[in-house]
């Protein structure tokens, strides 16, 4: 992948250089650089180091009074000085990631039309059909390696936000760079604006997207088909990450494209990978094999069914048949328990429909089925009631409870509730971050089962190996590699994921596991390096100011 120092030969000069966020160093330009590059007089006279400017930025960041103001401050920095933005994001990842991504990015998307100042990425619309390849040529960087694309229909747990959903691809790609070292110049956020059915947006005169109803059916499919083919031609080495598509399209599009393009759906496969890693770690902590577990899922959409599918594969590795494994996974959707007697089930739900009486109440389902694991992925805040949590604690010595819905406002329960109503016995993880909890003289540090532990490393492995496809085996391998990074010290705190501060090393290890699958499955024309980890580390972008003279 390219890195900034290699661009020195193409440097603009003067104000044009200062206005290029990829290259601008602000007051860190040296006296020699200012003289040679036509910057003398265009900058305040004092010269600072990158470290000094990073300290200055963090002081200003912490002065902001709300998380949305912090988000806006960081986006402004990204628009002015990309290297400094990524320097502080990497060095303060635990503090800043919740601002550039969940939970704050959810609020930012809701406010996107109001706070929108400078476009990042590309907006394609349903009216671009027939010329998408030509439109993609307007993107200034040719060697794109990772694309995150959404149509804005199911943004986190917030629903249809249309073109306002662009905050998600922008945020995800910031994490690709910070967590896995993908060069920002190789990243492209894209929103395919096919309209919106959100009446509030349609009635908003300031809405930045198409104020038209959502495109559906054959025209929609033809548009996405054209987009995928155009990306393949324009950016032949790009990984395409599908993000926050609605349930009616997500599974369908993944099945349509997974063996034709280098693509995956993070809501289905990335969520599954991080949840499986959490299960592996939880079971290492408390004892037991994954094939022995009975899991109840609240939700039967992309995330829950994706987790269920990967869990079935993992149980298969322990000797269970697909049928036996599926019988250990039970789903509760908006109409109750997913059972065979129901006539309203989609094809993907039918895989997990069992012969069992219908039941609409989660607490009754738990009392009847007696699960060892409870996973929430339905964006039903508060659904894990005190009664539900107490039931899990009564049925299990160490109940495993994952409240995965994002952002924080959509979580099925808080960390404090999970620990309090299980007498501190729950093994808990959430999708968005929660603070440490003190209970009965013990401090619990809740794990964050955030996809940022998985998708950056998977992407890095794909890019570093030059892989042409993404397979389910890669996500299983990624889950095992993530689990392997969780230590006894983490377990002592009740944490089943490593600290986010270690994410670049975690991502490098995941990338090795993913690249190994690519080489083993013949999905790359590249010769396997003798030292794969060293090769991967060498590709990782590190935002350190280089000398331009």
- Strand-pair category, 427-430 with 400-403: parallel
Distance between alpha carbon 173 and the CA centroid of its chain, in Å?
9
CA-derived radius of gyration, the chain: 23
Burial of 392 (0-12, 13-18, 19+ CB in 10 A): buried
φ and ψ of 376, to 5 deg:
-105, 125
Q: What is the topology classification, in CATH, of domain 49-261?
A: Rossmann fold (3.40.50)
Distance between alpha carbon 114 and the CA centroid of its chain, in Å?
24
Catalytic residue among 86, 101, 257, 453: 101
Please tell us whether the domain made up of 269-450 is placed in CATH 3.40.50.720: yes
Domain 49-261 and domain 269-450, same fold? Reply is yes
pLDDT at 22: 92
In contact, 380 and 334? CB cutoff 8 Å: no
Note if 172 is an active site residue. yes
- 169 Cβ contact list (under 8 Å, min separation 6): 121, 148, 149, 150, 189, 190, 191, 243
pLDDT at 408: 87
Q: Where are the beta strands (DSSP E) in 205-269?
A: 239-242, 263-265
pLDDT at 9: 53
Full 3-state SS string of 7-76: HHHHCCCCHHHHCCCCCCCHHHCCHHHHHHCCCCCCCCCCCCCHHHHHHHHHHHHHHCCCHHHHHHHHHH
Please tell me the distance from the alpha carbon of residue 129 to that of residue 229, in angstroms, as a whole number: 12
pLDDT at 360: 87
pLDDT at 7: 47
Residues in the chain: 549
pTM to 2 decimal places: 0.94
Note if 71 is an active site residue. no
In contact, 61 and 74? CB cutoff 8 Å: yes
Name the residue ranges covered by the structural domains of the chain. 49-261, 269-450
In contact, 369 and 396? CB cutoff 8 Å: no
In contact, 378 and 402? CB cutoff 8 Å: no
| Terminal alpha carbon distance of the chain | 22
Using a CB cutoff of 8 Å and minimum separation of 24, what contacts does 170-173 make?
Answer: 170/120, 170/121, 171/100, 171/101, 171/105, 172/101, 172/148, 172/241, 172/243, 172/266, 172/455, 173/121, 173/146, 173/148
Please tell me the distance from the alpha carbon of residue 328 to that of residue 315, in angstroms, as a whole number: 9
For the four alpha carbons of 327, 471, 534 and 54, in that order, the dihedral sign comes to: negative
Closest CA relative to residue 440, chosen from 465, 463, 422, 459: 422
Q: CA angle at residue 121 from 11 to 164, to 5 degrees?
A: 150
Buried residues in 472-497 as b, exposed as e (16+ CB within 10 A): bebbbbbbbbbbbbbeeebbeebbbb
Catalytic residue among 172, 176, 280, 419: 172
Q: Which residues of the chain have pLDDT under 70?
A: 1-9
- Upstream peptide bond of 283 is cis (omega within 30 degrees of 0): no
Please tell me the distance from the alpha carbon of residue 323 to that of residue 260, in angstroms, as a whole number: 28
């Amino acid at each position: 992948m390219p890195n900034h120092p290699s661009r020195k030969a193409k440097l603009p000069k003067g104000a044009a250089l200062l206005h290029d966020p990829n290259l601008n160093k602000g007051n860190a330009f040296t006296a020699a650089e200012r003289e040679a590059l036509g910057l003398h007089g265009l900058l305040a006279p004092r010269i600072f180091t990158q470290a000094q400017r990073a300290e200055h930025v963090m002081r200003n960041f912490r002065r902001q009074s709300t998380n949305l103001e912090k988000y806006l401050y960081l986006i402004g920095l990204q628009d002015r000085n990309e290297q400094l933005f990524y320097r502080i994001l990497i060095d303060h990842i635990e503090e800043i990631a919740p601002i550039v991504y969940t939970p704050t990015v959810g609020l930012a998307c809701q406010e996107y039309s109001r706070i929108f100042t400078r476009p990042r990425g590309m907006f394609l619309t349903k009216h671009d059909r027939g010329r998408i390849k030509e439109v993609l040529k307007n993107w200034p960087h040719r060697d794109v390696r990772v694309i995150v694309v959404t149509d804005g229909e199911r943004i986190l747990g917030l629903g249809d936000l249309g073109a306002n959903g662009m905050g998600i691809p922008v945020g995800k790609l910031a994490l690709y760079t910070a967590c896995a070292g993908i060069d920002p110049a190789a990243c492209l956020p894209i929103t395919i604006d096919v309209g919106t059915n959100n009446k509030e947006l349609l009635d908003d005169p300031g809405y930045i997207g198409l104020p038209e109803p959502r495109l559906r059916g054959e025209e929609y499919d033809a548009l996405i088909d054209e987009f995928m083919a155009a990306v393949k031609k324009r950016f032949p080495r790009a990984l395409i990450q599908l993000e926050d598509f609605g349930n009616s399209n997500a599974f369908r599009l993944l099945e349509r494209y997974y063996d034709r393009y280098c693509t995956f759906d993070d809501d289905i496969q990335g969520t599954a990978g991080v949840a499986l890693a959490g299960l592996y770690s939880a079971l290492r902590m408390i004892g037991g094999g994954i094939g022995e577990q009975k899991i109840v899922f609240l939700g039967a959409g992309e995330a829950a069914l994706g987790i269920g599918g990967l869990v079935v594969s993992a149980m298969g590795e322990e000797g269970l048949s697909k049928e036996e494994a599926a019988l250990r996974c039970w789903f509760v959707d908006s109409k109750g328990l997913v059972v065979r007697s129901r006539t309203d089930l989609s094809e993907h739900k039918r895989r997990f429909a069992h012969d069992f009486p219908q039941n609409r109440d989660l607490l009754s389902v738990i009392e009847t089925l007696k699960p060892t694991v409870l996973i929430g992925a339905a964006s039903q805040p508060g659904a894990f009631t005190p009664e539900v949590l107490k039931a899990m604690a009564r049925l299990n010595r160490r109940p495993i409870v994952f409240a995965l819905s994002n952002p924080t406002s959509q979580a099925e329960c808080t960390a404090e509730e999970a620990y309090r109503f299980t007498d501190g016995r729950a093994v808990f993880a959430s999708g968005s971050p929660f603070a440490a909890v003190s209970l009965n003289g013990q401090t619990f540090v809740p794990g964050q089962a955030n996809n940022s532990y998985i998708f950056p490393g998977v992407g890095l492995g794909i890019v570093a190996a030059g892989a042409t496809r993404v397979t389910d085996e890669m996500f299983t391998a990624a889950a095992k590699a993530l689990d392997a990074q969780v230590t006894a010290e983490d377990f002592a705190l009740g944490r089943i994921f490593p600290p986010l501060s270690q994410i670049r090393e975690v991502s490098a290890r995941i990338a090795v596991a993913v690249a190994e699958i690519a080489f083993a499955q013949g999905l790359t024309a590249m010769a396997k390096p003798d030292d794969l980890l060293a090769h991967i580390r060498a590709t990782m972008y590190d935002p350190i100011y280089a000398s331009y003279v």
